[in-house]
Every structure is written in C-alpha cells, then in structure tokens.
Structure 1
Amino acid sequence: MAAQHQPSPEVLRALVEESTRKSSVIWLRYGDEARARPAWHVWHDGAAYVVTAGPEADRQQGRLGEVEQHLPGLAEAETATVTCRAKDSRARLVTWRARVGHLTPRTPEWEGAAAALAGDRLNATDAAHLLERWSASDTILRLTPTGEVLEGPGRMPTDDTAVPPPGSPATTTGRLPWVVHKRARGRPRLS
C-alpha cells in the first residue's frame, strides 16, 4: 500500500486561513470541555478573533441583544482546538490548534480587531456604541494558529466523533401547536 501524501506546511497554513475565513461559525474546544462550542468570528491579520461576554454577562442575560456570545472559560485557556466546517455540506474541513491571547482594549491591535468584528456583527441593537461596550464589559480574544493541524486532508478521523446533546429542561407538555399550512388528518383536500 502506498504511503499517503501529506500536504506541505504552506498548504496547511493556507487551508487553515481560507477555511476559517469562509466559515461563518467556528467550533471551539478548550479546557475540560466535553463538547465544542460554536462561535462567530472574523479572520484578521493571520488569526481568528472572537468577542465573548465579560463577567457581567450573567447578570445581563435578560437584556436581549446587549450581551455577546458566551464562551465561558475561553479567556482563561492557553490553547483551543478550532474546527472549521464547509458552508454548503457542513463537513469538517480542518481542525487546528490555536494559542488564545487577550487584546487590551483601545490598543491599535484591539482597534483593528474590533473594527473587523463590528463589521461582521449581526443584529447589534447598539451598533453606535458597540466598541464602547466591548471595551468596557466584553473581551476580544485572538486565536493564533500554532501550525499544528489535527485534522485535515489525509488526516480525518474515521469514527463518528458525535457527542450526545446536552440535557435540557425544555419540553413540550401538551399537543403540538396548530400550523396554518398543515392539513388535518382525515380531512379531504380541496380541489
């Protein structure tokens, strides 16, 4: 059996950048997390940037639209595993390791990353004051590729890797709601 060709480091670096740039959501696993967490991000200056809710977010959860994504523990992590998926097929393209770094608010790097993130931030109810809120109460993190590609062309796992969904108190206790376009059972169609 012939040995499988491994892509060069330059090709892997380009794959990481292009797949992360084109993915609308990346999946992050860090610390002792059993499952990956989705995160919206932006690729800027050779790294993925995410904004995560600050420590006050738990108190503000009732104020919809004013709290950023919750990525508890990411700010304390030194490294994270980033998985990028294809938009059309949702298949995993590449999984890479990143160093997690904090950006100090109002520094030139923070300003550049915040501007890039603000341009991609959907449904911001306070767009005019977004950067002020981020500098005061949220955290912008830089996910810098270490060069280690864990999954990619020629190195994809053969097992399922699916994790059972987390438990939830959500339930439907009664009949399902009536839907306008759905025909009731036993009723004839009108011609």
Structure 2
Amino acid sequence: MTSELPGKAPLDQALLDRALVEEATKKSGLVWVRGAGEPAARALWHVWHEGAACLIGDGPGEQPLPGLVHGGSAEVTVRSKDKGGRLVSWTATVVELASGSEAWEAAVAELKGKRLNAPDGEAMTGRWARECRVLRLEPTGGVLPLPDGDLAARPVPSPATTREPAPAGLPKLLLKRRKPK
C-alpha cells in the first residue's frame, strides 16, 4: 500500500509506520510493554537508541522486566507525553545486550542520562553490569491496532509504595494561611 503526497513520489506504508513508531517512542519517556505470555502490559521507562527502545531492569532498585526474554517478542504501546493517550502499538523482538559489549556500552550511556534518582549515582553502570539486564526492543514491522481497555498491571509490591491514609492534621497544615508580618 502506498500513499501519495502532492508533488511527491509515492510513500511506502511500511516507511510511514516505521517513522511513526520511532518518533512516538523517541518522544515518550514511558511505554507499556507486554512480554510473551504475560497477562498485562507494564509501564517501563526507556530511551530510543539506534532504532530500538532500550530498557534496564531486573536488578535491585530497577524496574522489573517480566516476560521479556532474549529472542522473544513483546507488544509495545506508546503514549503521548503531553496528553497521556495512546499513539501507536507495535511488536518488537527482544534482544539482551551482553554486559561490556560495544552495544551495551552505547545503550548504557544513553540510559544513564535518563535514569532519575539512582541510589548509587555514578556507580550505577557498574551495578547494572553486575546485577541488571539491558534490553533492546527492536521493531519488527508495521503498527498494530490500538488495544481496548486498561493495559495496566497491578503494581509490584514494594517498600517504597505507600497506601496509608493521610494524617488527620495534614489538610489543616496544607491549607493554613500564613499571617502577614
């Protein structure tokens, strides 16, 4: 299937799909990923690097990557950074990068700049090499129809999660007006 723009040569639909996947994924800091055999998608932060979404995880203090195995497939849904709505869904081949390889070093350099609140600062790349997996989600072709319904998986239990009621006095403290001096 081809599209034609006024005054331009016909465009291949696969090329348009690839551009949509790349631009949408590059601009979004968060994607929903469902690995093979997983019942629900999981929100994961990533960076777009050399034609694929790169992820770090499965180590202490990092995001879990269930169902994402080397050579397997995944379904990726990209959201709008501005509005949060779904833009595009695409399939990917999962490639696990070998720690210390040239591809691993390049991906980690990109991921390092986007990692927020790392507990070990500059030492995180060494921890990633020892304890984590770096994955590339490489697009396999065209786009998929956008999924219906909720994509969210139940949050993984964590000591960082707080589900306690707010203290009774907190609203008073937050709404209290300061007296002029």
Q: Same fold (TM over 0.5)?
A: yes
Structure 1 runs (4+) greater than 3 angstroms displaced: 163-172, 179-183
CA deviations on 1:17-65 (whole Å, 9 max, x unpaired) are: 01101111100011221111010100000100000124xx4xxxxxxxx
Q: 46, 53, 66: which is aligned to 1:48? A: 53
**1:162 corresponds to 2:167:** no
**1:138 corresponds to 2:139:** no
| SS in structure 2 of the partner of residue 74 of structure 1 | coil
- Distance in 2, Cα, partners of 1:26 & 1:163: 11
- Distance in 2, Cα, partners of 1:76 & 1:31: 11
Match of 1:27 in 2: 32
Aligned length: 160
- Distance in 2, Cα, partners of 1:28 & 1:168: 15
User: 1:13 Cα shift?
Assistant: 0.6
User: 1:176 Cα shift?
Assistant: 5.6
Gaps of 5+ in 2: 4-11, 174-181
Match of 2:83 in 1: 89
- Distance in 1, Cα, partners of 2:156 & 2:98: 36
- Distance in 2, Cα, partners of 1:12 & 1:107: 30
- Distance in 2, Cα, partners of 1:8 & 1:168: 39
CA deviations on 1:113-132 (whole Å, 9 max, x unpaired) are: 00000010000121211111
**1:178 corresponds to 2:174:** no
Q: 143, 148, 158: which is aligned to 1:149? A: 143
Partner letter of residue 142 of structure 1?
Answer: R
User: 1:164 Cα shift?
Assistant: 8.0
User: 1:14 Cα shift?
Assistant: 0.7
User: 1:171 Cα shift?
Assistant: 6.5
The answer as to whether partners of 2:24 and 2:78 remain within 8 angstroms in 1 is yes
- Distance in 1, Cα, partners of 2:171 & 2:29: 32
Q: 107, 118, 137: which is aligned to 2:112? A: 118
User: 1:75 Cα shift?
Assistant: 2.9
User: 1:182 Cα shift?
Assistant: 5.4
- Flag the 1:138–1:176 CA change in 2: closer, same or farther, 3 A: closer
The answer as to whether partners of 1:97 and 1:146 remain within 8 angstroms in 2 is yes
The answer as to whether partners of 2:42 and 2:151 remain within 8 angstroms in 1 is no
TM-score by length of 1: 0.73
Match of 1:60 in 2: none
- Distance in 2, Cα, partners of 1:167 & 1:124: 20
